[in-house]
Chain A
């Protein structure tokens, strides 16, 4: 084993072990996906020539090109996942902002209610029935 392998493999093994532990605890599929990534990294670092062999089988040529393509694919998938997380988070944030706006409704000058700091009727939120 070379120095790079001595430095990276213990860290990756530790991450893989932690991932299994987290999956056992909460059974979330994302841990299995991450576990797969760590195991692939361990195998490819442990057997560097393996990438060249797989690349040759796939007709890519060099092993580094295969790693680069895989990295690109992984980045796209990760970005898609993050976009989705951000999308859902943003939607939750809008619901919070809406709740705040509905609770602090106020009236302008000359409004018939003459109420500039009212407590409007309890607004119905999305997850409540009409």
Chain B
């Protein structure tokens, strides 16, 4: 069953935001407009921003949480998920604060989770329309796909996409312990470990010069690998 206006099951959207005061307003406005008719609640987790991200979030009808220090995107997402679960969320969507994701894809992301076909829906930019992907980024993502297939056996087309939908059960089962960018790989490891059912959903990602400048560099792949190894060593 896809998301319908009469569906009153509580859906939560979690947005982790760090120094996103400039873009967050636009993202929230688009999001609120696209989900206005549904039973959707948005929670923004300000990850210790030094700009006006917190104040910006508070100008919208959303829940706002604030980390007193910058902990990383993985940590902020887990905080938002914890909060949503404590408020009896039926399904949870994670959405980027910088406007890269298209709010119109949310219904498609939720469809397999709400219908019970899968515990988790993972957004894939390579199944959907993705604008302006730099070739270095494409190469890096392909390497990540190969790495994921080798380490946990999941056959995916996109392994580092922040657009995901979790059932309540999946949100309670998965525990993100990697505070920074390695959380994306950690989530996939836990999907494999707990044998959660998953499905990939085509989504649109919009790359802009601004988001690319703030996003991960190719060298971060080495840092992420280091964090993953550290996470396995010091449990």
CB-CB contacts below 8 Å: B34-84 with A:
43, 45, 48, 57-69, 71-72, 75, 78-79, 82-83
B62 near A121 (CB under 8 angstroms)? no
Q: Tell me, yes or no, whether B140 is within 8 Å of chain A by CB.
A: no
Q: Tell me, yes or no, whether B219 is within 8 Å of chain A by CB.
A: no
CB-CB contacts below 8 Å: A76-130 with B:
83-84, 87-88, 90-91, 93-94, 97-98, 100-102, 104-112, 120-126, 130
B234 near A88 (CB under 8 angstroms)? yes
Docked pose: A98 CA to B80 CA in angstroms = 9
Minimal Cβ-Cβ distance residue in B for A90? B179
Evaluate whether A97 and B83 lie within 8 angstroms (CB atoms) in the complex, with A108-B60, A108-B61 already known.
no
Interface size class of chain A, counting residues whose CB lies under 8 Å from the partner chain: 20 to 34
Most buried by A among B48, B175, B179: B179
Q: Tell me, yes or no, whether B133 is within 8 Å of chain A by CB.
A: no
B62 near A108 (CB under 8 angstroms)? yes
Docked pose: A100 CA to B48 CA in angstroms = 12
Q: Tell me, yes or no, whether B172 is within 8 Å of chain A by CB.
A: yes
Which residues from B are CB-within-8-Å of A93?
A: 69, 71
B233 near A84 (CB under 8 angstroms)? yes
Contact of A94 among B57, B63, B66, B71 (CB under 8 A): B71
Evaluate whether A120 and B58 lie within 8 angstroms (CB atoms) in the complex, with A105-B63, A130-B172 already known.
no
Minimal Cβ-Cβ distance residue in A for B85? A124
B86 near A121 (CB under 8 angstroms)? yes
Evaluate whether A102 and B64 lie within 8 angstroms (CB atoms) in the complex, with A94-B179, A120-B86, A121-B87 already known.
no
B66 near A101 (CB under 8 angstroms)? yes
B59 near A98 (CB under 8 angstroms)? no
Most buried by B among A98, A120, A121, A125: A98
Minimal Cβ-Cβ distance residue in B for A122? B86
Evaluate whether A106 and B58 lie within 8 angstroms (CB atoms) in the complex, with A87-B230, A98-B67 already known.
yes
A101 near B172 (CB under 8 angstroms)? no
B69 near A97 (CB under 8 angstroms)? yes
* Chain A nearest Cβ from B233, distance in angstroms: 7
Docked pose: A84 CA to B86 CA in angstroms = 31
* Chain B nearest Cβ from A110, distance in angstroms: 4
Contact of A110 among B48, B61, B69, B79 (CB under 8 A): B61
Minimal Cβ-Cβ distance residue in A for B65? A101
Docked pose: A94 CA to B79 CA in angstroms = 10
Docked pose: A96 CA to B62 CA in angstroms = 23
A-B contact pairs, 21 of them (CB 8 A): A84-B233, A88-B234, A90-B179, A91-B179, A93-B69, A94-B75, A94-B179, A97-B68, A97-B71, A102-B82, A105-B64, A105-B65, A105-B83, A108-B59, A109-B60, A110-B60, A120-B87, A121-B86, A123-B86, A124-B86, A126-B175
Smallest CB-CB A-B distances: 9 pairs: A110-B61, A108-B58, A111-B61, A101-B65, A97-B67, A94-B75, A94-B71, A98-B79, A108-B60
Contacts A94-B75, A110-B60, A123-B86 supplied; 20 other A-B pairs, CB < 8 Å: A87-B230, A88-B234, A93-B69, A98-B78, A98-B79, A98-B82, A104-B66, A105-B64, A106-B64, A108-B57, A108-B60, A108-B63, A108-B64, A109-B60, A111-B61, A111-B62, A120-B87, A121-B86, A123-B82, A130-B172
